[in-house]
Amino acid sequence: MQEVTSNVYIEDQFPGVTLGVIVTPRGLVQIDAPSSPEDARSWRAALMNLGGGLDRALINLDAHPDRTLGARAMDCLVIAHEKTALTFRTRPSTFKAQGEETGADWESIPGLGSVRWAPPEISFLDQMTLHWGGPEIVLEHHPGPTNGAIWVKLPQEKIVFIGDTVLKNQPPFLAGANLKPWLSALETLLDATYKGYTFISSRGGPVTAVQIKNQYDFLKHVHDKLEKSTAKKPNPAAIEKLVASLLAWFKAPSLKQKQYAQRLRYGLLHYNSRQPQVPSYSPEE
């Protein structure tokens, strides 16, 4: 576990996403859960040593299985955006580890079997603030990686957990993405409002302004490529060529190349299938 500042910690030792926890006088505010229920129980036990009050809350930054599969094992109140809650209402109550390969991290975890989801019990639309006796904790809606993506911001400490808005040295998940608001969210992070902030990505931990700009450049490139291809029917050869060119943007370890290529392949096919026309984007919009 890594201390970001007093009473704010992150953990990146579990497969899936980088986890967060904020220690308050009322209790622990946890950000995302491990993918495996077994890892979630281990994480829950580790959190017992942090002190704070007795209450527990878990914030899901979006509905991706990497961050929500272990939520039920955390055995606490779950908070998310209303569109994330809607996603759970349209899912079967039980997750089964089978189906298409999406390039997600949970797919490499053996023995997952069937897992019961833990849908959010509290949801919000634009913004929500938690007052648990410690620092103000602000939840904000910033769609892009998914329609229900949110950030968790600590204005006094100048820390913001940005979920999958920025991924460190790995390709994004495009299947459920909307690139136009995603680019806008990245511009927001690069604005003077966030000067001096520590940015915590769900895929790699702390990220710099340079890495945020690199994410923007990559997504703008993807957006432009997809905009040019909307008049043409996608075909496997074209998708494979695009996957190869996009993968070259990342210095991924060799063991991850196949997974990341599949993540891009799956994302591009599904993004195209539900986006018949990609609107042009300019920073002035």
Q: What is the pLDDT of residues 7-65, one digit of tens each?
A: 999 999 998 899 999 999 999 999 999 998 889 999 999 998 888 888 999 999 999 99
Q: Which residues pair with 129 in a beta bridge?
A: 138
- The single residue listed with the structure tokens 């959190």 is 47
Taking all residues of the chain, what is their mean pLDDT, rounded to a whole number? 89
Task: Examine residue 283 and state whether it is found in any structural domain, yes or no.
Answer: no
71: part of which helix (H) or strand (E)?
Answer: helix 71-74
**pLDDT at residue 273, as a whole number:** 63
Task: Examine residue 61 and state whether it is found in any structural domain, yes or no.
Answer: yes
Listed as ranges, residues in the chain with pLDDT below 50 are 231, 276-282, 284-285
Beta strands in the chain (DSSP E): 2-5, 8-11, 19-23, 27-31, 55-59, 77-81, 94-96, 114-116, 122-124, 127-130, 137-141, 150-154, 159-167, 198-203, 205-207
Task: Examine residue 142 and state whether it is found in any structural domain, yes or no.
Answer: yes
Task: Examine residue 81 and state whether it is found in any structural domain, yes or no.
Answer: yes
Task: Examine residue 285 and state whether it is found in any structural domain, yes or no.
Answer: no
Domain that holds residue 101: 2-274
Q: What domain count does the chain have?
A: 1
CATH code of the domain covering residue 45 = 3.60.15.10
Task: Examine residue 86 and state whether it is found in any structural domain, yes or no.
Answer: yes
**pLDDT at residue 278, as a whole number:** 40
Task: Examine residue 282 and state whether it is found in any structural domain, yes or no.
Answer: no
Distance of CA 183 to the CA centre of its chain: 15
**pLDDT at residue 274, as a whole number:** 56
**39 CB contacts (<8 Å, ≥6 apart)?**
14, 15, 16, 70
Give the other-Cβ count within 10 Å of 4's Cβ.
19
Task: Examine residue 73 and state whether it is found in any structural domain, yes or no.
Answer: yes
Q: With contact defined as beta carbons under 8 Å apart, do 15 and 205 qualify?
A: no
